[in-house]
Amino acid sequence: MMINQVPSFEEYLGTLGRLSAHVDPIPTTPEADRIRRASASLADIGEITAQTLVRWLETHSVDADVLALTVGLTQEKMKNNLRNHFGTAGIATLARTKPHELIEWLDTEFDLVRSLAAQRHRVYEFGDILVARAGTRVTAKTAGASGRKIEDELEQIAEDLQLNFQTRTRFTGRNGQSAPCDLLVLDDEGRQHIAVAAKGFDSTGSKLTDAVREIEEMASVRLPTQFVMAVIDGIGWKSRKADLQRIHGLWTSHQIDGMYTLATLSDFRRDLTRFATLHDLIRPVAGE
């Protein structure tokens, strides 16, 4: 069996992308005196354009995070998105050193100019305040949907290949030990052959460490005849590189058989086809 060359960790890191959809932030509420002052200064701008916002940053670089709040980015999401695009999480520094690039990015990715123009003179009612306070619940639902994005893609590939599979289950390996998996491929007799982990996060936290632990558990209990694969994506991993590198280390040491992102799903499909063919789970697919 030909073994594909494992990309370096930095090459893998470069394929990570943002998973979560943008949440419309128009219902909002002031949080502090600094934000109120910055909001007032934005309201004083005659016309909101990319050029006038660049000029505003010349005297308000320390308040650049207010622009991120304008488009609905929490502090954590702002830092993760900045780190993903610019390689740094310091928005005030970017406002001083790369104001044009910062405004262009905020407008292209998050519709800053339209959003700010729509919000800055709006009169808010009590219902708007309640909607703003419910924003964390809205974000949580969106995060859940983004976490399902990878699983949905994997299920579609498994269905396309006409595999017998289960989702969000456990597989049994060495000495009857079991481990969690998000996709499990079986033969018609129920023997378990391929276990896949799907871990997508745009935010950071203990759940990323839990994901690493689960994949390590999968690697530790697998039988020599079983294949273990992991599809991992989301810019939250860029803030937890050490955790991500632990998984990459399992790949380079051949404790797992593949590590992919949404950008490399064609590689996942190719390898899943190859592994399934080795166990006579599908007929060889022409061209793969």
Q: Percentage of the chain with pLDDT > 70?
A: 84
Calculate mean pLDDT across residues 42-47. 90
Q: What is the pTM of this model?
A: 0.60
**30 pLDDT higher than 50:** no
Amino acid identity, position 190:
G
Crossing angle of the two packed helices 206-221 and 241-252, in degrees rounded to 10: 10
Residue 6, pLDDT score: 85
Residue 205, pLDDT score: 77
Residue 31, pLDDT score: 42
Structure tokens given for 247: 């998984």
What is the SS3 string spanning 136-151? HHHHHHHHHHHHHHHH
Residue that wins the pLDDT comparison between 178 and 140: 178
- Give residues with Cβ within 8 angstroms of 186, minimum separation 6: 164, 165, 166, 192, 193
Residue 226, pLDDT score: 97
Calculate mean pLDDT across residues 97-110. 93
- Burial status of residue 259 (CB atoms within 10 A of its CB: 0-12, 13-18, 19 or more): buried
